A = this chain, B = another copy of it.
Amino acid sequence: MQPIIVAVAFVLLITACSPAAVQALPMVEKQEFVTHNFTTFGGEVIPEVRVGWEAYGELNDAKDNVILVTHFFSGNSHAAGRYSEDDAQPGYWDAIIGPGKAIDTNIYYVISVDTLVNQEPYNPNVITTGPSTINPETGAPYGLDFPVVTIRDFVNVQKTVLESLGIERLHAVIGASMGSLQALDWAAAYPDQVDRMISVIGMGAADPWTIATLQQWANPIIHDPNWNQGNYYDGEPPLAGMQQTLGMITLTAMHPLIINQLYADSSPREAAPLQDIRNNFSVVERLQDAARVRATYADANHILYLVRANQLFMAGYQDDLATGLQDVQARSLFIPASNDLLLQPYLAKQAHNTLIELGKDSQYVELEGPWGHLDGVFEISQKADLIKEFLNN
């Protein structure tokens, strides 16, 4: 396994050995949804919103077999399946989504939607609307004229997509990391439309530590002179800053256990770094290479907007989390990762405890693994049986 691949692999999942993937090879295609005059949580109007979406399985006649999968910061709606038979990697949660799998596409209609301000507007498999989109009023990219958006806005775009399909109720909503924020906010915002909610490596609200840590991700872009207050679309983009940011995201999302395993041949006794402080250790070089790859399809402003959406998060968007969650009707399941150093388990525990104190039905169980935050993607199979049972009950 090449570390460079693993380090960029937020959207990749190693399922080459999965019998279902080999046998069934379910195909999927990105579809486009367009809506107009979308009003944001902050009260601004976006004249036109375009987002991509994917679906797996069949929508039944009652339209009551729908599971919405909400994606993480660096991901998109490609949650499962392959785009073609020679597609090297399936969607990120292919291990649990597919025929006969935990999220069984023989039973459920599984749908996922690219978020607004998606990290990768230049990824041919992503359709999103954000600061890099052409502002119809000016004919140029919005830049910072694009309104600040929130997790609630991602939810509301998804709701509009679902309504266009005649779907009024979710059998379940499930997401990892930033996806878990959307899942929980769905249950808080539209309590009578959500029957089950699964939060993987998630939180109920951004606490001061998380807000401050996410700001570290924004800093390299903001301080790159090429960022130019977000106006770089007709010049040089802030590539150096964006690469630093993406490198930091990778590192924050991974526990020392996996970094030390993947880069075991890097040593404090390397010769070059002792010669000149500008020489890098091999682990640093290789993480920088991975960050360069991750930057290929990314947009710096989009990353800043995603950071902000996460910082602004409090499920239900009331004065406090308990008030925000008071109307939840969904049965809830929280699956944080024990070794997560980013959205540490105490955050999921806090949301779970808040629901319990409100008399709601909530379960809490931790993933184990060496990846840290990324255990929510790479080790999700550990909880496949639990997820299956939770969904089918």
Contacts and interface: CB of A to CB of B under 8 A. Distances in A.
Interface of A: 41-42, 144, 148, 150, 205-213, 215-216, 218-220, 222-225, 229, 240-241, 244, 247-248, 251, 256, 259-260, 262-264, 266-269, 273-278, 280-281, 283-284, 287, 304-305, 308, 311-314, 317, 319, 341, 344, 346
A216 B203 CA distance: 25
A149 to B, nearest CB: 10
Main secondary structure of the interface of A (DSSP, over half): helix
A274 B23 CA distance: 48
Contacts of A346: 256
30 contacts: A42-B274, A148-B274, A148-B277, A150-B274, A207-B256, A208-B259, A208-B262, A208-B266, A208-B281, A208-B283, A209-B260, A211-B268, A212-B283, A212-B284, A215-B280, A215-B284, A216-B248, A216-B251, A220-B220, A222-B278, A223-B223, A223-B224, A229-B278, A256-B346, A268-B312, A273-B311, A273-B312, A274-B312, A277-B304, A341-B341
A206 to B, nearest CB: 4
Contact of A244 (B205, B209, B223): B223
Nearest to A271: B42
A307 to B, nearest CB: 8
A256 B209 contact: yes
Given A206-B268, A219-B220, A223-B224, 8 more contacts: A42-B274, A209-B260, A216-B247, A218-B277, A220-B223, A222-B278, A256-B346, A268-B313
A277 B229 CA distance: 10
Question: Max chain B CB contacts within 10 Å: which of A263, A284, A341?
Answer: A284
Contacts of A304: 277
A-B CB proximity, top 4 nearest: A209-B256, A208-B263, A209-B259, A208-B283
Contacts of A208: 259-260, 262-264, 266, 281, 283
Nearest to A304: B277
B305 A269 contact: no
B251 A283 contact: no
A161 to B, nearest CB: 24
A204 to B, nearest CB: 10
Contacts of A344: 256
A277 B144 contact: yes
A222 B241 CA distance: 11
Nearest to A261: B208
Contact of A211 (B206, B277, B284): B284
Contacts of A276: 144, 148
Contacts of A305: 277
A223 B219 CA distance: 11
Contacts of A247: 216
Nearest to A324: B269
Given A211-B266, A311-B268, A42 B275 contact: yes
Contacts of A312: 268-269, 273-274
Given A220-B220, A275-B42, A346-B256, A281 B209 contact: no
A278 to B, nearest CB: 7
Contacts of A220: 219-220, 223
A277 B223 contact: no
A93 to B, nearest CB: 26
Nearest to A308: B277
Contacts of A262: 208
A266 B278 CA distance: 38
A287 B212 contact: yes
A269 B314 contact: yes
